[in-house]
Amino acid sequence: LAKTTQPISMDSYEGQEVNITCSHNNIATNDYITWYQQFPSQGPRFIIQGYKTKVTNEVASLFIPADRKSSTLSLPRVSLSDTAVYYCLVGPRGNAGKSTFGDGTTLTVKP
């Protein structure tokens, strides 16, 4: 199983862009990178998923360098409601048992 390392916590201010980096040095060739967001007392919510280069959707962008040993989740113009825990998962598609949630990054957005 690929092990992931993220910062434990990050602070930001409303309106700023936030970048959260995840290290996954032992990523396998068929592994994908997926990010989830979790609010207190709720289940995680899917944000974005990618394999290489850059992926963008309506809420975030995911940057993956060529060696794929790390990835960066980018949240543009955060608001107070983006305060949550963000998890990076690495694993092959179609196999939940091989995708491990790390410790997550607690993002606190301040006014």
Partner 1 sequence: KAGVTQTPRYLIKTRGQQVTLSCSPISGHRSVSWYQQTPGQGLQFLFEYFSETQRNKGNFPGRFSGRQFSNSRSEMNVSTLELGDSALYLCASSLSAGIDTEAFFGQGTRLTVV
Q: Which of residues 31-60 bind partner 1 (CB under 8 A)?
A: 32, 34, 41-46, 49
Site string for partner 1, 7-36 (x = CB under 8 A): -------------------------x-x--
- Identify the three-state secondary structure at position 102: coil
Q: Give the residue carrying structure tokens 């360098």.
A: 65
Please give the Cα distance from 68 to 72 (Å, whole number).
10
Q: How far is the CB of 102 from partner 1 (least distance, A)?
A: 7
Please give the Cα distance from 60 to 16 (Å, whole number).
13
Is the CB of 49 or the CB of 83 nearer to partner 1? 49
- Under 8 Å between Cβ of 32 and 38: no
Residues in contact with partner 1 by CB under 8 A are 32, 34, 41-46, 49, 87, 89, 91-104
